[in-house]
Amino acid sequence: MLHIVNKSASERSSLDSCLRMATKGSAVLLIEDAVYAATKGNPAESKIRAAGESLKVYVLGPDLAARGMSGRVLDGVSVVDYGGFVDLVTEHRNCQSWL
């Protein structure tokens, strides 16, 4: 399953809710204000690092760039573009957007 999160982890609980429900081997894609969770030194860094042990974590590059965060991505998180976003959707049987 592909989980998509679009809210800042320091403002909403959607990342926590997602990580609680995501089963081993699932993919988590961070977009919009959720991309901050994938940056070095942010409050959710330890959660993303821990998630990386059992989940595949992706972050949308254009949303990082728009926030000046392209150079701060955590190791172990894969940056994808819009084409990569589409690939993730097609590669997974289903997806859930944690709005």
Give the count of residues interacting with another protein (CB under 8 A): 26
- 3 contributes a contact to another protein by CB under 8 A: no
For another protein, the binding residues in 12-31 under the rule CB under 8 A are none
What are the strands, taking DSSP E only, across the chain? 2-5, 27-30, 56-60, 78-80, 95-98
For another protein, the binding residues in 39-58 under the rule CB under 8 A are 39-43, 45
Closer CB to another protein, 26 or 57, in the complex: 57
Span of 17-25, 47-55, 62-70, 88-96 interacting with another protein by CB under 8 A: 62-70
CA dist., res. 1 & res. 27, Å (int)? 6
- 98 contributes a contact to another protein by CB under 8 A: no
- 11 contributes a contact to another protein by CB under 8 A: yes
CA dist., res. 94 & res. 74, Å (int)? 26
Listed residue (82, 81, 98, 76) closest to 1, CA to CA: 98
